[in-house]
């Protein structure tokens, strides 16, 4: 017997693909967590912790890896209080519904703490975006979001950082180290968050080299979703133009795309400044020598802190800001290339903390 082939309309095929993706995601979550109905803050086997990465996920050697480091610390230091720990990763150009589904699936699988890594989980309209919807439907689950403070709910804590302060310090480094008198900046997306990096960097350069131009470029605009953090080839091209235009140091705030900046620096015998993690320790030997320093954003500390507080019954909703005063941002010293600047950097750090230096948040 020959079975006739049915030709589905394109819309139906897309709907089927979406449904199958959702089923596969649910199976992946439930396989490790147990099919627990409803939204529960924990279970008999301990607190279940779910972490939803931004695009790039664990292994991006930047923003997501900082969150992964915090999760690894949770596994080590809070093991006796934990049940399952689950990691899921966003896809490039996925919809807000995909992000909502990811958060909701973790909740429905019984994960008592769900951490959303990246501002895109808040959505364009944060009042009705992925996180707000999931939090409203899962009132007993504690949610945290990294890099966004627009979602106000009794079970949501916002983990935000003073990126401009850490960027000011690496701007001082660039101002002291530039030989051409021109430096550059590459941002993944031109939005309020990434402009904070650019503003702080420009101010730091100006503090020690007032006449040094800072050439600022962005890979993409502010429209969501933004693919600018997984566009290494484009970052390599943009950084190359900055170097060819006279910059000898380029600072990036572009997540995984930063590898392209490092490659452009290597190709031209120039220098670069990393971001989020100590990128000197995460790249291969062929790129290590171009990294002057990195602006370290302690997403790992934020992730560990919120899980620890839930474990100990001290979860507090609202906004938590990690700045220089609590070592929420800092700079890396791996490779020893800025050892002679440490005293000056520490002096600026004290001035920022005591308020005698105010770092701008918009270029």
Residue ranges covered by each domain of the chain: 37-161+298-328, 163-297+333-354
Instruction: Pull the structure tokens for residue 332.
Output: 């890396």
Closest C-alpha among 139, 157, 131, 141 to residue 42: 141
SS (H, E, C) the chain: CCCCCCCCCHHHHHHHHHHHHHHHHHHHHHHHHCCCCCCCCCCCCCEEEEEEECCCCCCCCCHHHHHHHHHHHHHHHCHHHEEEEEEEECCCCCCHHHHHHHHHHHHHCCCCEEEEECHHHCCCCHHHCHHHHHHHHCCCCEEEEECCCCCCCCCEEEEEECHHHHHHHHHHHHHHHCCCCCEEEEEEECCHHHHHHHHHHHHHHHHHCCCCCEEEEEEECCCCCCCCCCCHHHHHHHHHHHHHCCCCEEEEECHHHHHHHHHHHHHHCCEEEEEECCHHHCCCHHHHCCEEEEEEECHHHHHHHHHHHHHCCCCCCEEEEECHHHCCEEECCCCCCCHHHHHHHHHHHHHHHHCCCCCCCCC
pLDDT at 44: 54
pLDDT at 17: 40
The pTM of the full predicted model, rounded to 2 decimals, is 0.86
**Amino acid 225: pLDDT:** 87
152 vs 362: CA distance, rounded Å: 24
What's the CATH class of domain 163-297+333-354? alpha beta
**The domains spanning 37-161+298-328 and 163-297+333-354 adopt the same CATH topology:** yes
pLDDT value at residue 342: 97
Provide the pLDDT for residue 115. 98
pLDDT digits (tens, 9 = 90+) for 223-259: 888 899 999 999 999 999 999 999 999 999 999 999 9
Handedness of CA 263, 184, 195, 200 (dihedral sign): positive
CB 170 within 8 A of CB 183: no
pLDDT of res. 203: 98
Residue 204's contacts (CB-CB under 8 Å, 6 or more residues apart) are: 167, 168, 169, 170, 171, 172, 173, 174, 175, 348, 359
Spans of the chain below 70 pLDDT: 1-44
Instruction: Report the topology of domain 37-161+298-328.
Output: Rossmann fold (3.40.50)
What's the confidence (pLDDT) of residue 28? 47
């Amino acid at each position: 017997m020959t079975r006739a082939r049915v030709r589905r309309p394109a819309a139906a095929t897309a709907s089927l693909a979406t449904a199958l993706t959702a089923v596969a995601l649910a199976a992946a979550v439930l396989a490790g967590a147990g099919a627990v109905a409803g939204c529960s803050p924990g279970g008999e086997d301990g607190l279940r912790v779910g972490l939803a990465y931004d695009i790039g996920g664990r292994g991006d050697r930047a923003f997501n890896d900082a969150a992964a480091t915090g999760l690894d610390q949770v596994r080590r230091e809070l093991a006796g209080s934990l049940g399952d720990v689950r990691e899921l990763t966003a896809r490039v150009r996925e919809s807000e519904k995909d992000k909502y589904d990811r958060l909701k699936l973790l909740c429905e699988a019984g994960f008592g703490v769900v951490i959303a890594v990246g501002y895109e989980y808040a959505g364009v309209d944060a009042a009705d975006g992925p996180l707000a919807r999931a939090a409203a439907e899962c009132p007993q689950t504690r949610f945290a979001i990294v890099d966004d403070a627009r979602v106000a709910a009794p079970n949501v804590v916002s983990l935000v950082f003073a990126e401009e302060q850490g960027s000011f310090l690496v701007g001082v480094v660039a101002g002291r180290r530039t030989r051409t008198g021109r430096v550059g900046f590459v941002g993944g997306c031109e939005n309020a968050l990434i402009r904070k990096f650019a503003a702080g960097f420009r101010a730091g350069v100006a503090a020690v080299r007032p006449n040094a131009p800072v050439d600022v470029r962005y890979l993409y605009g502010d429209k969501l979703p933004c693919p600018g953090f997984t566009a290494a080839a484009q970052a390599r091209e943009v950084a190359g133009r900055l170097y060819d235009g006279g910059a000898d140091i380029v600072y990036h705030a572009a997540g995984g795309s930063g590898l392209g900046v490092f490659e452009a620096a290597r190709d031209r015998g120039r220098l670069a400044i990393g971001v989020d993690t100590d990128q000197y320790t995460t790249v291969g030997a062929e790129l290590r020598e171009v990294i002057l320093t990195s602006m370290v954003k302690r997403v790992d500390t934020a992730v560990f802190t919120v899980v620890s507080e839930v474990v100990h019954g001290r979860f507090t909703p609202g906004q938590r800001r990690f700045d220089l005063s609590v070592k929420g941002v800092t700079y890396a010293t791996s490779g020893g290339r800025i050892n002679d600047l440490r005293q000056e950097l520490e002096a600026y750090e004290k001035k920022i903390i005591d308020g005698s230096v105010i770092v701008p948040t918009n270029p």
